[in-house]
Amino acid sequence: MIRQSTASAPGKVILSGEHFVVHGSYSVAAAISKRVSVSIREIRGTKSQIVSTGVTSDLDSDDGRFPAVKTVARTILSEARKEAPRITFQISISSEIPPGSGLGSSSAVSVASAAALMDFLGLSWNKAEIANFALRGEKAVHGNPSGIDIQASLLGGMILFKKGQEPRSISVRDPFKVLVVYSGKKRSTSKLIVKVAQRKSKYPNTFQRLADSASEISLEIVEASRRSELHEIGKYFGLAQSQLAWIGVSNPTLETLIEYLYEREEVLGAKLTGAGGGGSVIAAIRQDSAEAVLKFMTGRYPYSFVSEIPQEGLRWKKRKN
């Protein structure tokens, strides 16, 4: 039988604290129902490959394709070289998350690739090691990430995250639905992180006050989520959005999308989620009218979906061979 390993990991939404988390604030993230699946199988030949949606790239080629997966795989192979069997393999990626949409596709692919490859090579691993390998992949794409995306994808559920601390899992009494709408505009997280750092150095005092308040909003959202108080969550989404606009990561595409959402009275509050500059918006909605709002939004924004949060994190199947 051919040696084969499979793992999948979810995308994520950030409910509060994006960008500020890079500067030490608390941030809240949750795994969503859209996932990335990675399978690895042994192949003939001398070059390992990565394949996704008809595009193939050799693992050792620097053609700019699949930077996250290549970094994860090369790091694992170089660090585990002595223990790892020398086998040629193909990594196949199948994703439900558009890249550059702010929904954590690069983290999900990094987490799933790290777990699948460790398993494929017969190496033992724990979650901390997967987080470490996956973060290297995320850095190859995003420059200076906080690590929140990786932890949300790996652990699943809802997490309260602060740089330098262990992420805290939040237990939510009744899982609830959120609406996620992709604006269709891709953007680069790393460029936005740099833009925010420039804003911080121009207005250090105001930025610090906003960062402190972002932490408070995160703690309020945790409390409201524990009790599934959608009205409260919606109110804080509105406040978070105005702060994100002030630090320069909203734009007319996102503001128009949010205004369009507010045409529906079932929408209790909305904000950009992730790095902004395009990407996606998350909305708190009345739970009994999720499908109606979704239908309204998909007319204009085809990649819209309702996700119940929280969701399961990393899943993997034990290797077959």
21 in contact with ligand PMV (CB under 6 A): yes
HSE-CB at 61 with a 13 A cutoff on CA atoms is 11
- Choosing from 16, 90, 189, 243, the residue that interacts with ligand PMV (CB under 6 A) is 189
Q: Does the annotation mark 149 as catalytic? A: yes
Distance CA 40, CA 51 (A): 10
137 in contact with ligand PMV (CB under 6 A): no
117 in contact with ligand PMV (CB under 6 A): no
32 in contact with ligand PMV (CB under 6 A): no
218 in contact with ligand PMV (CB under 6 A): no
Give the H or E element holding residue 218: helix 204-226
102 in contact with ligand PMV (CB under 6 A): yes
> What are the φ/ψ torsions at residue 169 (nearest 5 degrees)?
-80, 135
For the chain, the helix, strand and coil percentages under 3-state DSSP, each to the nearest 5: 40, 25, 30
104 in contact with ligand PMV (CB under 6 A): yes
Residue 42 or 216: which CB sits closer to ligand PMV?
216
Environment class of residue 216 by beta-carbon count within 10 Å: exposed (0-12), middle (13-18) or buried (19+)? middle
- Range in contact with ligand PMV (rule: CB under 6 A) among 15-23, 37-45, 73-81, 285-293: 15-23
Distance CA 33, CA 27 (A): 20
Query: Residues 247 to 306: which contact ligand PMV by CB under 6 A?
Result: 274-275
Question: Closest by alpha carbon to 152, among 164, 160, 141, 142?
Answer: 160
Residue among 62, 149, 174, 288 flagged as catalytic: 149
- Name the residues annotated as catalytic: 149
Binding site for ligand PMV (CB under 6 A): 14, 18-19, 21-22, 102, 104, 142, 145-146, 148-149, 189, 193, 274-275
